[in-house]
Structure 1
Amino acid sequence: MYSWRARIGVIAPLDDKVEYAFNKYAPDGVAFNSSRLAFSGNPTPENLIRMTELLEDTAKMYATQPHDVILFGCTSGSCIKGFGFDKECIERIERASGWPGLTTSTAVLEAFEALGLKKTVVMTPYPDDTNEAEKKFMEDNGLEVTSITGVGFNRNGPYSHASKLHLYRNAKKLKTEGAEVFFLSCMGLATMELVEILEEDLGMPVITSHQASLWACLRHAGIKDKLPGLGKLFTI
């Protein structure tokens, strides 16, 4: 039985990066059951809101088997409608599935709280209107966003296919003065392998959507393993 420590459901847009990252870094005994939300086009507010309308129907698929937590694994999708929308998504998951829910944006907020830090510089692949919505969500939840930069992945083919080289070099270009944390947003970006090197090179803790989501899923499932290679967050 692969899930002898925890079984975690993952609801995510059409991409395999979440499963790859979670299965690569999770401790033994943790299993992930994944399902998809149909998503097409760029991550605009309209497209993201349309995607979230499918959340309950997808969560219902988890109702027949016990799960420790079910994650809505989309950062912008779980905060796009503003303050409290992540909690609304959690309630919808829990009503439909009968199991505890979580969202990536909630996980990110919990990661900031665990680190005890509030001032952040943010990098995303989103267009400006989605960035503004995410910035407002973060600030309405008590964080201070010193800057938020969309580096335009979506203008050059699928935005989620950005290479580690592209992510790393754009992160190094950001002005980090006044920030305490670097946050790399989006579950469509492969970010786990960048966490430690960016912490070293930027001189501050790093939170990414994948890392925070895995950390919060494990903590909500009662697993407190301190995993190597995933930055300061996983030492807490």
Structure 2
Amino acid sequence: MTDVLGWRKVFGVLGPSTNTVVQPDFDDLRVEGVTNHYSRIIVQNPTALSDADFLRGTDAIDAATHDAVRAVMTCAPDYLVLGMSAVTFYGGAEGAAKWTKAVEDVAGTRLCTGALSLIEAFKAYGGIRRIAVLSPYFPVANEQVGRFMSDYGIEMVRDTPLRCQSWLHIARVTPAQLRQTILDLDGDDIDAIVQVGTNLSMMRLAAAAETFLQKPVIAINTATYWNALRQNGIQDRKPGFGRLMAEF
């Protein structure tokens, strides 16, 4: 017997308790027969004033992740979707794979991460080798994003870390701020603009930016949920969220 509402797939979604964007984003991307069941990774809202503070904050998220996994597994989801991104880039491809395996071992099921979802998105678009990256992070975390990308043959040509002062502050960055950042990052020397940081609300802006920049602009929440669907054989298209959801 299958779940009455999640008759195609039941997704367990993991995200920091301070994150107010990823849950509504993923619900907007949800398709018929798929349900999302959010499990909060309990953390406090730190004040990030430096690279070291940012790393301590993400370490706290990392340390609390397995408890959130155990909690969501009580509803027996078919698959896990990770609604946080920073730690999935740490340590390059090898570090990311080790981190993912540790979570999958606790869960006993597969996990979709933002980092690998971006790689899958690049394959879907085709021809993406040079990117610019926008994040709410501090520079030390953007460096990890660049390292991860280089392991997959992707060059991070330039990047903008917004240095948000707390986890809650990330959700308060306005579309106007993000639009200007995108314009500043753009150039003929890059194939795509990529946004990381799941509490940064950019799905709809990224979709709009693809039309006026005429190149892929990829929001990590869109890429993650798109990849989760595709990894489970669900090919539904959904307009309004960029080419990734509408075409691939």
Asked whether the two chains share a fold, i.e. TM above 0.5, the reply is: yes
Question: In 1, distance between residues paired with 2:140 and 2:210?
Answer: 28
Which stretch of structure 1 is more off in the superposition, 193-202 or 41-50? 41-50
Task: Describe the superposition over 1:100-143 as per-residue Cα deviations: whole angstroms up to 9, x where unpaired.
Answer: 11211111121112222221111111111111121111112221
2:5 to 2, 5, 8: 2
CA drift at 1:199 = 0.3
- Residues matched between the structures, number: 236
CA drift at 1:35 = 1.0
CA drift at 1:57 = 2.1
Distance 1:63 1:152, change over 3 A: closer
2:37 to 26, 33, 40: 33
Distance 1:156 1:133, change over 3 A: closer
Question: In 2, distance between residues paired with 1:61 and 1:203?
Answer: 43
Corresponding residue for residue 84 of structure 1: 94
CA drift at 1:86 = 2.4
CA drift at 1:216 = 0.8
Corresponding residue for residue 11 of structure 1: 14
Alignment of 1:159-170 (within 5 A): 159-170=170-181
Question: In 1, distance between residues paired with 2:71 and 2:83?
Answer: 16
2:72 to 49, 57, 62: 62
Amino acid aligned to 1:198: A
CA drift at 1:180 = 0.7
Structure 1: which 5+ residue stretches go unaligned? none
Q: Identity, % of aligned pairs?
A: 24
Normalising by the residue count of structure 1, what TM-score does the alignment of the two structures yield?
0.92
Residues 1:222 and 2:233 aligned together: yes
Question: In 2, distance between residues paired with 1:225 and 1:18?
Answer: 20
2:191 to 180, 186, 197: 180
RMSD: 2.0
Task: Describe the superposition over 1:15-42 as per-residue Cα deviations: whole angstroms up to 9, x where unpaired.
Answer: 1211101112221221101111233323
Residues 1:46 and 2:56 aligned together: yes
